[in-house]
Amino acid sequence: MAFLKIAGSNDIIKLEGKAEFVLGRSDVTSQSFPDIDLTPYGAEDKGVSRYHAKLILLGKQLNYVMDMSSTNGTSLNGEPLEPLRHWPISNGDKLELGNLKLTFHEE
Model confidence at 1, pLDDT cuts 50, 70, 90, reads confident
pLDDT at 107: 82
pLDDT at 68: 98
Q: What integer is the mean pLDDT of 44-70? A: 94
What is the DSSP track for the chain? -EEEEETTSS-EEEE-SSSEEEEE--BTTTTB--SEE-GGGTTTTTT--TEEEEEEE-STT-EEEEE-S-SS-EEETTEEPPTTS-EE--TT-EEEETTEEEEEEE-
Domains with residue ranges and CATH for the chain = 2-106 (2.60.200.20)
pLDDT tens readout for residues 63-104: 999 999 999 999 999 999 999 999 999 999 999 999 999 999
The better pLDDT of the pair 29, 22 is held by: 22
